[in-house]
Amino acid sequence: MSAPDVAALFRQYFGAEPEVVALAPGRANLVGEHVDYCGGLVLPVAIGVRIGVAMRRLSPRSASTAVSGTGAEGAARFDPLALRPVGRWTDYLSGVAGVLAALGTTIPPVEVAVASDIPVGAGLSSSAALSVAAAMAFSALAGEPCDPRALATVALRAERSFVGIPCGIMDPLAVSLGRAGHAIAIDCHAGATELLPFDGAVLLVDTGAQRALVASAYRQRVTECAMALDAVRLVDPATRDLASASPAAVEAALMSPEVRRRARHVVGEMARVRQAIAQLRASGTLDGALLSASHDSLRDLYECSTPALDWLAREATRLPGVAGARLTGAGWGGCLVAIGDDDALRASAPRLAAGFASQFGRPPRWWLLHAADGATLESGHVAHRS
């Protein structure tokens, strides 16, 4: 998605030029899954698919309208300063506008056009990209552009508190702070980030499965991790969060077999992320076996995989030059991420897709992408007002 494409959609619907266009990428997490809300370390890359948000302010008391190029709803009215979500995608716009308003930013009535090539609901964080781009556009419109960290915080608060998704800081930080040729190590407890060299290709294959279970299953896992932490603290009261629990404390604590499996995943995944960060710091390359071990743990311990994801992970790593693969995002559907030699991934993708189609009866969408820059404001479209 490019700024001119988004501006063209805006002109088509509203017959005027947008004042601002903000673009934000999707993200793929390389390793460190389901540890963000446990205070752990994650290692995402921003990826070269983007959402664009074009905006223009209207005169006071006008009705705000938004259109999304992917939405079947057409242009819809929405209230940027709504007090409650209405259950539509425009809640993300109202969410960030409300958070910005609470911080003192003036939010006028607006026209908004959204165009995207980030698949929706595939685990590549179209929601954080939408929130970050919208926050960037609203703040630019007010003449008070936020720095990337502030944008991520606004997007997180909007998605958590307004839209009502119990997500972590990883997605908005990755979308906001991403850098071409780099992965971002994020300490989800401290909010600290470190850009690490990573210029390898990333193959993403979307299982296309309906993720109806995701929201409830995700909440259940968050609860199970909280239960595991309570149990670990009875053994070791100084434990800061589940991600920093020692494997010995997890084994010693009294918990159900199910909750223990979740905790084992979290502490095992943390060890893998630490290894991955050390590898990137030292050489800019990542051992694919870490991704494959992560998948096994998500399948067996966290129980958030699906037969389609398991099939893709297994078959991908059988192809020559594919170093490792795992589900990325929350799971229960969504995408596989594979890393390896660029040319090998390019050659493998069609074979993997064809095999998937004959196995599951539908051809999957796939993308071969590299680490990309985080959210940007297209200066050609920024309004300069006195």
Catalytic residues: 171
Least distance in Å: CB of 364 to ligand ADP? 16
89 binds ligand ADP (CB under 6 A): yes
Residues 121-140 that bind Mg ion (CB under 5 A): 127
Number of neighbouring beta carbons within 10 Å of residue 337: 32
304 binds, among Mg ion, ligand ADP, none (CB under 5 to 8 A by kind): none
68 binds ligand ADP (CB under 6 A): yes
Decide if 370 contacts 202 (C-beta within 8 A). yes
Q: Match 């893998």 to its residue by tokens.
A: 272
Residues 240-279 that bind Mg ion (CB under 5 A): none
Number of neighbouring beta carbons within 10 Å of residue 167: 21
Contacts of 83 (CB under 8 A, 6+ apart): 98
Q: Which stretch binds ligand ADP (CB under 6 A): 118-126, 172-180, 198-206, 378-386?
A: 118-126
122 binds ligand ADP (CB under 6 A): yes
Q: Residue 234 — left, alpha, or beta (φ > 0 → left; ψ -120 to 50 → alpha)? A: alpha
Residues 158-217 that bind ligand ADP (CB under 6 A): none
Number of neighbouring beta carbons within 10 Å of residue 63: 10
Least distance in Å: CB of 69 to ligand ADP? 7
Least distance in Å: CB of 378 to ligand ADP? 17
State which of residues 25, 98, 123, 324 lies at the interface with ligand ADP (CB under 6 A).
123
**212 burial via Cβ count (<10 Å: 0-12, 13-18, 19+):** exposed
Cα separation of 16 and 10, whole Å?
7
70 binds ligand ADP (CB under 6 A): yes
- By residue count, the chain amounts to 386
71 binds ligand ADP (CB under 6 A): yes
Report the interface residues with ligand ADP, using CB under 6 A: 51, 68, 70-71, 89, 92, 114, 116, 120-127, 130, 329
